[in-house]
Amino acid sequence: MMEVLVLVPFIFIAATPVDIVSAAAPVTFVFGDSLTEVGNNNYLQYSLAKSNYPWYGVDYPGGQATGRFTNGRTIGDFVSAKLGIPSPPPYLSLSPNDDAILKGVNYASGGAGILNDTGLYFIQRMTFDDQIRNFNKTREAMKSKIGVEAATKLCNEAMFFIGIGSNDYVNNYLQPFLADGQQYTHEEFVELLISTLDRQLSRLHQLDARKMVIHGLGPLGCIPSQRVKSKQGQCLKRVNQWILEFNSNVKKLVGSLNTRLSNATILFADTYPAVFDLISNPTAYGKPFISAFCVSHVEPTE
């Protein structure tokens, strides 16, 4: 089963200006992995990356598993609530002619990565490239529905929330039996990730995305699969340092894209410090301990 980092949704909400989207009827398109998925993998027959089991969703409205890799809401759910809109439905649940595509779609898929070979052992998952291709299909369907000009305007004014990269470490580079961890130094691996992400975000811009929020990675050295490698179950400093280097490079990429891409407003949401503080000082957040958790449901504060 996939492992998901403890996240604090309210930290992201505080870090993301709500005015990045139009005040009237904001539309969001969500891309990413298990941290933002809302059920796409349930429609992939052979996927091993599913969360449609009874213990998921116990704190979600209705108390049933929905395909979210959490007991409650995802970051995307909290962002949608903050914007006063329903959470976008999973892409694979919609027909091409569904009017719901005009109100936002979630393309995220558990096991997905920036790299196409990330998460291969889950058999089926939609990589970030797959998700971008699926968005283009949505875009073409919108053009047919409301016309090219209106569809372009809708995409230009929508918020594109992107949280991707955790699996490129957890289910790729940090796995000793996979090639990337053997083939690349970390510096080379980060260069590969950033150059690929550059191409992908530029492609989204070509597809009329103008307002994007890129969610940085949390302290992956503190998730259970990494802690067990420590004699005393502590966070792995080397892994966390790698994540900080990745985040720093993504932040530089965002600055470069804002300069290079016309009319682009791209934000980098760095939650690493706050999440690491939650893990290091759980009692300050009303939690007796954090280290045993894979996924934590934390209600946002205003």
pLDDT digits (tens, 9 = 90+) for 240-281: 999 999 999 999 999 999 999 999 999 999 999 999 999 989
Residue (of 243, 225, 240, 215) closest to 294 by Cα position:
225
Residues, the chain, total? 302
Judged against a pLDDT cut of 80, whether residue 295 lies above it is answered with no
Ranked by mean pLDDT, which of 3-12, 68-77, 265-274 comes out on top? 265-274
Residue 300 lies in a domain: no
Residue 184 lies in a domain: yes
DSSP state of 90: B
Judged against a pLDDT cut of 90, whether residue 9 lies above it is answered with no
The pLDDT of 194-211, averaged and rounded, is: 98
The pLDDT of 94-98, averaged and rounded, is: 91
Residue (of 240, 180, 188, 267) closest to 5 by Cα position:
240
Residue 52 lies in a domain: yes
CB-count exposure of residue 58 (10 Å: 0-12, 13-18, 19+): middle
Judged against a pLDDT cut of 50, whether residue 203 lies above it is answered with yes
Q: What is the pLDDT of residue 7?
A: 40
Domain extent, residue 233, equals 9-285
- Residue 5: which pLDDT band, with cuts at 50, 70 and 90? very low
Residue 294 lies in a domain: no
Residue 291 lies in a domain: no
Q: Find the range with the poorest average confidence among 17-21, 50-54, 134-138, 278-282.
A: 17-21
Read off the pTM. Answer: 0.89
Q: What is the pLDDT of residue 17?
A: 47
Judged against a pLDDT cut of 60, whether residue 167 lies above it is answered with yes
- Whole-angstrom Cα distance, residue 9 to residue 154? 26
pLDDT higher at 271 or 297: 271
Residue 302 lies in a domain: no
Residue 189 lies in a domain: yes
* Cα dihedral sign, 159-131-34-232: negative
- Residue 55: which pLDDT band, with cuts at 50, 70 and 90? confident
Per-residue pLDDT tens digits for 145-164: 999 999 999 999 999 999 99
Judged against a pLDDT cut of 60, whether residue 11 lies above it is answered with no
Neighbour count for residue 131 (Cβ, 10 Å):
27
Judged against a pLDDT cut of 60, whether residue 20 lies above it is answered with no
CATH at 42? 3.40.50
The pLDDT of 66-93, averaged and rounded, is: 93
Q: What is the pLDDT of residue 297?
A: 36
- Whole-angstrom Cα distance, residue 39 to residue 68? 6
The pLDDT of 8-30, averaged and rounded, is: 59
The pLDDT of 166-178, averaged and rounded, is: 95
Residue 156 lies in a domain: yes
Q: What is the pLDDT of residue 24?
A: 64
Could you give the C-alpha distances from 154 to 24, 29, 83, 105, 208, in angstroms and in order?
11, 11, 16, 13, 9
Neighbour count for residue 295 (Cβ, 10 Å):
19
Q: Which residue type does 89 have?
A: P
Give the count of domains, the chain: 1
Q: Find the range with the poorest average confidence among 29-33, 215-219, 230-234.
A: 230-234
Calculate ∠ Cα 45-41-115, nearest 5°.
110
Element (H, E) at 259: helix 237-260
Neighbour count for residue 19 (Cβ, 10 Å):
9
